[in-house]
Amino acid sequence: MHAGAKKFCDQKGVWKIGQAHVAEIKQMHDDGEIDDINYNIVTQQEFDEHFLPWSKAREKAKTEDSV
C-alpha cells in the first residue's frame, strides 16, 4: 500500500484501505522503515468525525439552495 500511495501521491483522490494497512504504514513509519509519508492517512474514526458532518452540511446547503 505504501509503495502505491507514494507513487501516486501527486494525484488527487481518496483511497479506501483497511485499518490493518493504516496501522501497518503508521508502524513502519514509527519504526523508521519508511522515511517520509507524503500522503495523508486517516483512520475510519477520523474520517467519520470530519467527513460525515461536512457531507451532511453540504447536502443541507444543496437542499436550501434548490428551494
- Range in 1-5, 33-37, 42-46 the model is least confident about: 1-5
Q: d(Cα 25, Cα 37) in Å, to the nearest integer?
A: 9
| pLDDT beyond 70 at 31 | yes
Mean pLDDT in the chain? 84
| pTM of the model as a whole | 0.56
| pLDDT beyond 90 at 40 | no
| Torsion, CA 26, CA 31, CA 32, CA 34, rounded to 10 | -40
Amino acid at 18: G
**Domain range annotation of the chain:** 2-65
